[in-house]
Amino acid sequence: MLSGDIPAAVAELKQTPGDDLHIMGSGALIQSLSPLGLIDEYLLCVHPLVLGTGRRLFADGFGPIAFGLANATPTATGVIIATYRPLER
């Protein structure tokens, strides 16, 4: 667990050798790390349904950030698992 200046702690962790860091389901954390270039890859699962309500992963005023598709895998249920990487700014 991290506390204090989370972006600084993540930047420091990225400089150390070891396994990858993963963020699961925290839109607020993604919104604080992404503008600083601290997220190397986004794995998004696209489900074939419209909820019509709910929390947004990317809030108003976020970005712009251009992404390149690194991989896409369709599942038997119609979900698409897509991996995106930010393009050079």
The CATH architecture that domain 6-86 belongs to is 3-Layer(aba) Sandwich (3.40)
Q: In the structure, what pLDDT confidence band is assigned to residue 33 with cuts at 50, 70 and 90?
A: confident
Residues 79/48, Cβ–Cβ less than 8 Å: yes
**What is the reported pTM?**
0.76
* pLDDT digit string, tens, across residues 8-27: 888 888 888 887 888 776 77
> What is the model's pLDDT at position 21?
82
* pLDDT digit string, tens, across residues 36-72: 888 899 999 999 999 888 877 777 777 788 999 999 9
Other CB atoms within a 10 A radius of the CB of residue 22 amount to 7
- Cis peptide, bond prior to residue 64, ω within 30 of zero: yes
